[in-house]
Amino acid sequence: MTRQEQKRASPQTRRRGDALVQSIHEAALAELAAVGLGRLTMEGIARRAGTAKTSLYRRWSAPHDVLLDAIRDEHPQEVASPAADDLRGDLLRALRQLVAWLGTPTAAAVAAIMAERRRYPELARALYERVFDARGGRFTLTVLRFYAARGHIDPARITPIVADLGEALVFKLALDADAPPSEEQLVAIVDQAILPALGLDPARRSGKS
């Protein structure tokens, strides 16, 4: 056993550098979920992260700064690639992905900031500038554009309202029920709202025969 191995055998008690920052980020998101924006404190984040306030103040001047960094680090986002010949399936996949994201601590943080954007305008602005552009990240828009480019959809149908449909309904359902929409509800969103709005109404097509 070399001296290096002996050193490894003793359990580490302190986190340093990136490991510590990662822990603090996770703690910030969890603390936000627990207490909300108005009650987010350095003491709370530090307590939850199991670290000292000094470690936080060495890097950030306020809890909102910690939160923004946490969101940015946890936010990497990939939108599913459309299949090419299954509009309905791809819309469903996109909505499922949205629902999956809604279950993350990051989504909860983004929602909290959006909900209180009038009270914390600087925070909301910083979210846009430092994390994402507000109009980006539409899960269904990628799919719609993909199929319009291939001639499956009349491009004139892809208006801002139609592009917003899927997300608006998912958010509303989630808010009303305080639970993610079911697969059945996602299917209903696609079949009863999105496709009709695109001029591809399943109820009308089956009624053709």
Partner DNA sequence: CTTTTAAGATACGTGTCCGTATCTTAATCG
Partner DNA sequence: CGATTAAGATACGGACACGTATCTTAAAAG
Q: What count of Cα atoms within 13 Å lies in the side-chain half-sphere of residue 4?
A: 0
193 contacts a copy of itself (rule: CB under 8 A): yes
CB distance 102 to 180 below 8 Å? yes
37 contacts DNA (rule: CB under 7 A): no
Nearest one of 115, 118, 134 to 32, comparing CA atoms: 115
Nearer to DNA, 57 or 83 (CB): 57
Nearer to DNA, 43 or 85 (CB): 43
54 contacts DNA (rule: CB under 7 A): yes
Nearer to a copy of itself, 148 or 196 (CB): 196
Q: What is the dihedral of CA 97, 98, 99, 104, to 10 degrees?
A: 100
Residue position matching structure tokens 């269904």: 140
140 contacts DNA (rule: CB under 7 A): no
79 contacts DNA (rule: CB under 7 A): no
Supply φ then ψ for residue 147, to 5 degrees. -75, -25
Token duo for residue 75: 């936010």
Residues forming the site for a copy of itself (CB under 8 A): 33-39, 111-112, 114-119, 134-135, 157, 159-162, 164-165, 167-169, 171-173, 175-176, 178, 185, 188-189, 192-193, 196-197, 199, 201, 203-204
